[in-house]
Chain A
């Protein structure tokens, strides 16, 4: 009996991450990356931000979102290395670096969100 394939699962993570990235990252990056630092919009108060992000539901949601975004990026980047740079002979290394990085990043996200006051 062949090993159960992992590829469909990775594709599901990629797809979910892609949808969430498309829907949520533009507004978040616009606000925190440009609007607030450059003063286009008044940044929210520290207390408000911590209240919104620190809510248990937010923490769980953000953890799941970060994980999906990281796996989306890892999966896509893996295939870009195959197609763009024709690095198929380094397949095992690429898989390790990409998904390993995503796992490390997800753990880091969990720790950071846990530590939020």
Chain B
């Protein structure tokens, strides 16, 4: 094909569209979305907790009704799944903390393992205190 003169060639760029299911394509993306979905289970815990508080308002009788209801299979499964998601949230949160917060002591960066470790330590201590407060007595 011969050209009689200059013909400007405008290439048509190809723009691939990102699939709605992009997060299913790799393990790390799936793990990320699951981590983010832990937000739903955090909200569920608040609801569950407020149900407990409401039940306490109905006396010892209400409290025992709550414990029976919480022992029903569907609620146990929901809470077990929630616990798994929230522990996943906690682990990913503490592991990422050193990346988000750089602490310098004496001009040197505190190693990541130390910062994560401190977070895990706080987790253990806090849990122990809360458990002691609730169970003790």
Task: State the A residues within 8 Å of B (CB).
Answer: 17-19, 21-34, 36-38, 41-46, 48-53, 66, 69-70, 72-77, 79-80, 83-86, 101, 105, 108-109, 112-113, 115-117
Contact = CB atoms under 8 A, between A and B. Distances in A.
Interface of B: 18, 20, 23, 33, 36-40, 42-43, 45-50, 52-54, 56-57, 59-60, 63, 67-68, 70-71, 75-76, 79-80, 82-83, 86-87, 89-90, 93-94, 122-123, 126-127, 130-131, 133-137
B50 A31 contact: no
Given A31-B135, A80-B36, A116-B56, A24 B126 contact: yes
Given A18-B89, A84-B33, A84-B36, 15 more contacts: A26-B86, A29-B48, A33-B83, A34-B80, A37-B68, A41-B135, A43-B67, A45-B137, A76-B39, A77-B39, A83-B33, A83-B36, A105-B46, A116-B56, A117-B57
